[in-house]
Chain A
Amino acid sequence: MKYRQILDHVVLLFGVFLMMGPLVVAFLTSTYNHVTIHRQGMQFGWGGQFLDTYQTVLTQQGGFSGEITGLLMTQNSIILGIGFAVGKIVVSMTAAYAIVYFRFRAGTFFFWVIFLTLLLPLEVRILPSYEVAQQLGLLNSYTGLILPLIASATGTFFFRQFFKSVPEELLEASRIDGAGPIQFFWDILVPLSRTMMAAIFIIMFVVGWNQYLWPTIMTTEEQYFTLVRGIQSVMQQMIGADIPYYNEALAMAMLAMLPPALVILIFQRMFIKGLVEQEK
């Protein structure tokens, strides 16, 4: 039994080494001077240039042309993350409410239309989606960045499932009390869904923050770049350079990683609940 326990710890410690090792090395390397990294490779110690590098990246240039700073990109990422999460919750909650709580002919039809979107991940309709956004004049705008991403089926299915599990007596009781559909939604259903909404918000914030393909083709003006989108420009600049600014590129990667990681760690319980509930 004792032996078994030790073995489990060995497996887990090895797992932690595997998962965290690359991140630790990346972080430590980002505290070194780029010339040192170029000469000696990635580093496993503390380089002492932490403040310099991160200050440059945050306030002067986001690792490349200098038109946008890391702070502005962080701001864009936050706008995308929160806009995506809030938009998705609002749109999918109202849609799920209509589907579950109303008797109307077209309900099933609309349900299948929403279902259809599962078949069309952004990646397979990327070129025509770009053309549509272009025709609507949405390139290089926050609306164009957020709107096309929020209407997929996952959120609607999630809330549909949750609403179905809400006891029917609640609706009957509030009807006897004379509540209309809007009042029932606002006074009963929304407060009941609070935990669900928070769980979905956390997941969707991370998903929104981490969007890459759509922001990459949508935004060509640097003022709309998010951190994750900026990674691509960092890379392009690195390839061309004599001695690439490895430290700044890694600092950007760390910045792009930190907020979603913190959100997940702080709200760990809720995050896991939301993630696992989604499968049901």
Chain B
Amino acid sequence: MKKAQFSNPWLPYALLAPQMLIIAIFFLWPAAEAIRSSFYLEDPFFGNATFVGLQNYTDAFRASDYQRTAWFTALFVTLVSLLSLAIGLMLAVSADRVLRGQSSYKTLLMWVYAIAPPVAGLIGVMLFDQHIGPLVDFFALFGWEMRLGVNYWDTGIAIIIVSTWKQIPYNFIFFLSGLQSIPNSVKEAARIDCRSERRRFWTITFPLLAPTSFFLLILNITYAMFETFGTIDQMVKDQPGNSPVTLVYKVYRDGFRGNDLGGSAAQSVVLMVLVLILTIVQFRLIERRVHYN
């Protein structure tokens, strides 16, 4: 904190008031409501609620549907994060090295960042459509008949591809600016000491990028967990029941479509705990980086 500060009996409160008001109404109240109703069994038609303790939680965890969704979410988050990080890094390393056309490449590779997840999903649905989709024709060349919305894993793979595609520009931008912030003196010294470009990358560049990568990993996990909602919603449109979805999508589906208010609330609370863990890890990382600097 700064040493020189103002002191005023009411002004800081007035300045904070708008944000606090919105947080209280739209964050704290709903969150408290979610926690409360996760312990109740609510009748969606008459509004009667009975206290059932942890039953909503145990019911959710025991349901085979929940377990299947949890496994798919784990796989989905891992694949989307790692694939988009790897491709983003590869493109950034190449873009950092080329002498000509760097800004054109950058512009073209960034474009997809602007696309909303559901729009990406809509384009994905068409590209993977059984009748009109060119990607289905492409995979058919290898003898794989994709059936989006019919086959569980075909749909899953299509969702993973589209979600990865959407996230690549983000990682590309961060990696490229990370690479460009490495001082030239370091690069030159490394070039004198080590002739092999590959070894130079893995022993000098990659460790220097490690903090960025860890930070990005967390952001990618958050993206895959939460922001892919729109993509998934588009891509499973006809058959959300028998298609792969993430835990976040399931909260929405059970609450809004299935009218299982207590069960949906219990799943929300589980997700809040997950976010809590992610946030703690993220802040630990930032703190450590501050110490290094």
**Could you list which residues of chain A lie within 8 angstroms of chain B, going by C-beta atoms?**
4-5, 7-9, 11-12, 15-16, 18-20, 22-23, 25-26, 29, 37-38, 40-42, 90-92, 94-95, 97-104, 106-107, 110, 113-114, 116-121, 123-129, 131-133, 136, 147-148, 150-151, 156, 164, 168, 171-172, 175, 181-182, 184, 206, 209-213, 216-217, 228, 231-232, 234-236, 239, 246, 249-250, 253, 256-257, 260-261, 263-265, 268, 272, 275-276, 279
A182 CB → nearest B CB, Å: 8
- 5 closest A-B pairs by beta carbon, nearest first, are A151-B22, A128-B30, A210-B116, A128-B33, A98-B15
Which residues of B, 196-227, contact A by the 8 Å Cβ criterion?
197, 212, 215, 222, 226
Please name all residues of chain B whose beta carbon is closer than 8 Å to the beta carbon of A147 when the two chains form the complex.
22, 26
Q: Is the interface on chain B under 10, 10 to 19, 20 to 34, or 35 or more residues?
A: 35 or more
Q: A16-B109, A38-B131 are in contact. List 7 more A-B contacts (CB 8 A).
A: A20-B112, A92-B19, A94-B15, A124-B271, A231-B119, A260-B115, A268-B107
Please name all residues of chain A whose beta carbon is closer than 8 Å to the beta carbon of B146 when the two chains form the complex.
none
**Could you list which residues of chain B lie within 8 angstroms of chain A, going by C-beta atoms?**
1-8, 11-13, 15-16, 18-20, 22-23, 25-31, 33-34, 37, 87, 90-91, 94-95, 97-99, 101, 105-119, 122-127, 131-134, 137, 165, 168-169, 173-174, 177, 197, 212, 215, 222, 226, 229-230, 233-234, 237-238, 248, 251-252, 255-256, 261, 264-265, 268, 271-272, 275-276, 279, 286
Residue picked from B23, B165, B261, most chain A C-beta under 10 Å = B23
Contact of B16 among A95, A253, A275 (CB under 8 A): A95
Give the CA-CA distance A232 to B13 in the complex, in Å.
41
Give the CA-CA distance A128 to B29 in the complex, in Å.
8
Q: Is B94 a contact partner of A12 (Cβ separation < 8 A)?
A: yes
Please name all residues of chain B whose beta carbon is closer than 8 Å to the beta carbon of A231 when the two chains form the complex.
116, 118-119, 122, 234
A22 and B6 contact, Cβ closer than 8 Å, known pairs A113-B20, A123-B229, A210-B116: no
Please name all residues of chain A whose beta carbon is closer than 8 Å to the beta carbon of B31 when the two chains form the complex.
120, 125, 128
Give the CA-CA distance A210 to B166 in the complex, in Å.
13
Give the CA-CA distance A168 to B99 in the complex, in Å.
41
Q: Is A212 a contact partner of B229 (Cβ separation < 8 A)?
A: yes
Q: Is A148 a contact partner of B22 (Cβ separation < 8 A)?
A: yes
Contact of B215 among A151, A210, A265, A279 (CB under 8 A): A279
Residue of B with least CB distance to A8: B94
A104 CB → nearest B CB, Å: 5
Please name all residues of chain A whose beta carbon is closer than 8 Å to the beta carbon of B18 when the two chains form the complex.
90-91, 94-95
**Can you spell out 22 A-B residue pairs with CB atoms less than 8 angstroms apart?**
A9-B94, A15-B109, A29-B126, A38-B131, A40-B132, A41-B134, A90-B18, A98-B13, A98-B15, A104-B12, A110-B16, A119-B279, A121-B275, A123-B248, A128-B29, A132-B33, A250-B122, A261-B114, A264-B114, A265-B111, A276-B177, A279-B215
Contact of B117 among A5, A128, A210, A272 (CB under 8 A): A210
Residue of A with least CB distance to B29: A132
Q: Is A100 a contact partner of B30 (Cβ separation < 8 A)?
A: no
Please name all residues of chain A whose beta carbon is closer than 8 Å to the beta carbon of B116 when the two chains form the complex.
209-212, 228, 231, 256-257, 260
Please name all residues of chain A whose beta carbon is closer than 8 Å to the beta carbon of B234 when the two chains form the complex.
231-232, 235
Please name all residues of chain B whose beta carbon is closer than 8 Å to the beta carbon of A133 when the two chains form the complex.
26
A19 and B109 contact, Cβ closer than 8 Å, known pairs A8-B94, A127-B256, A272-B177: yes
Residue picked from B1, B94, B279, most chain A C-beta under 10 Å = B94
Please name all residues of chain A whose beta carbon is closer than 8 Å to the beta carbon of B279 when the two chains form the complex.
118-119
Judged by DSSP, the binding face of B is: helix
Residue picked from B107, B118, B124, B233, most chain A C-beta under 10 Å = B118
Q: Is B114 a contact partner of A206 (Cβ separation < 8 A)?
A: yes
Contact of B197 among A4, A16, A279 (CB under 8 A): A4
Q: Is B20 a contact partner of A110 (Cβ separation < 8 A)?
A: yes
Give the CA-CA distance A94 to B17 in the complex, in Å.
9
Q: Is B177 a contact partner of A119 (Cβ separation < 8 A)?
A: no
Q: Is A257 a contact partner of B114 (Cβ separation < 8 A)?
A: yes
Q: Is B114 a contact partner of A260 (Cβ separation < 8 A)?
A: yes
Q: Is A124 a contact partner of B11 (Cβ separation < 8 A)?
A: no
Q: Is B173 a contact partner of A276 (Cβ separation < 8 A)?
A: yes
Residue of A with least CB distance to B277: A119
Give the CA-CA distance A97 to B8 in the complex, in Å.
13
Please name all residues of chain B whose beta carbon is closer than 8 Å to the beta carbon of A114 when the two chains form the complex.
19, 23
A26 and B27 contact, Cβ closer than 8 Å, known pairs A92-B19, A119-B275: no
Q: Is A276 a contact partner of B252 (Cβ separation < 8 A)?
A: no
A103 and B5 contact, Cβ closer than 8 Å, known pairs A124-B268, A124-B275, A228-B118: yes
Contact of A125 among B30, B101, B137 (CB under 8 A): B30
Q: Is B111 a contact partner of A256 (Cβ separation < 8 A)?
A: no
Give the CA-CA distance A12 to B31 in the complex, in Å.
45
Please name all residues of chain B whose beta carbon is closer than 8 Å to the beta carbon of A260 when the two chains form the complex.
114-116
Please name all residues of chain A whose beta carbon is closer than 8 Å to the beta carbon of B286 when the two chains form the complex.
279
Q: Is A119 a contact partner of B115 (Cβ separation < 8 A)?
A: no
Q: Is B132 a contact partner of A37 (Cβ separation < 8 A)?
A: yes
